[in-house]
Amino acid sequence: MPFGSRKQLDVTRLKADLAAAGVEILSAHCATDRIRLNYSAEDIATFGEHRTLKNAITSSHALYRFFSQIEIHLRRQE
Hey, what long-range contacts does 57-63 have (CB within 8 A, 24 or more apart)?
A: 63/25
CA-to-CA distance for 40 and 49, rounded, in angstroms? Answer: 15
pTM above 0.85, yes or no: no
What tens digit of pLDDT does each residue of 52-70 get? 999 999 999 999 999 999 9
pLDDT in tens, 2-55: 555 557 889 999 999 999 999 999 999 999 999 999 999 999 999 999 999 999
Report domain extents, the chain. 11-47, 49-78
H helices present in the chain, as ranges: 11-38, 41-47, 50-77
Q: Half-sphere exposure of residue 59, counting CA atoms within 13 Å on the CB side?
A: 10
